[in-house]
Structure 1
């Protein structure tokens, strides 16, 4: 199984996702860190990603070559992450046939009605459950 973790800005959410997925799945999954900037990519690589790439072309190219895409909900919204996520990136992520597992954060001016306000770690735990269940099919 191959997953992409997309993040930008400081890369903290991506780092947390990579750390938890690496701990849970050990070496049974291939994690690709896709950062909108080099800091985000670097943090995700240090957290245990197998590969990493930075920028618009890297994200557009790689999101069609994975089974799952994980990241904050803003990765499907053009100009989110304080403008780091371009419309081309958001479109490529949205159109990818990969299963998207998104962490609901309100910082991107997207509010999902009915979602409880929980610590990010709880959402990452739920993401692990989703990926585990989907990979068993």
Structure 2
């Protein structure tokens, strides 16, 4: 299974996701770090991603090459992450046939009704559980 972890800005969320995926999923699981910037990608690589790439074209080209895409809800919202996530990136991610498992973080001014606010580590645990179910 190939999983793309998408993050931007400082890369902290992508790092936390990558660490948990690497810890709880089988070793043969391939994790691809896709950062909106080089700093985010580097942090995810240090956390255990197999390979990584940065920027708009890297995201657009790679989201169709994976089975699962993970990140915050903002990765499907154009201009999120303080403008780092471009409309082309958001469209490519949304159009990808890959299963999307997104954290309902309200940083893009998007509230998902019926979802309860939980600390990031708990949300990532739910994400890992869902990916294990898919495996």
TM-score range, shorter chain: over 0.9
Task: Provide the aligned C-alpha RMSD in A.
Answer: 0.7
Which contiguous aligned blocks of 4+ residues in structure 1 show a shift greater than 6 angstroms? none
Aligned length: 135
The secondary structure found in structure 1 opposite 2:10 is coil
Rounded to whole Å, the distance in 2 between the matches of 1:17 and 1:28 is 17
Rounded to whole Å, the distance in 1 between the matches of 2:23 and 2:10 is 21
How far is the alpha carbon of 1:28 from its aligned partner? 2.2
Rounded to whole Å, the distance in 1 between the matches of 2:111 and 2:13 is 18
Give TM-score scaled by structure 1 length: 0.97
Rounded to whole Å, the distance in 2 between the matches of 1:39 and 1:82 is 15
Give TM-score scaled by structure 2 length: 0.98
Unaligned runs of 5+ in 1: none
Mapping for residues 21-40 of structure 1, pairs under 5 Å: 21-40=21-40
Mapping for residues 8-19 of structure 1, pairs under 5 Å: 8-19=8-19
Rounded to whole Å, the distance in 2 between the matches of 1:86 and 1:74 is 11
How far is the alpha carbon of 1:27 from its aligned partner? 1.5
The secondary structure found in structure 2 opposite 1:107 is coil
Unaligned runs of 5+ in 2: none
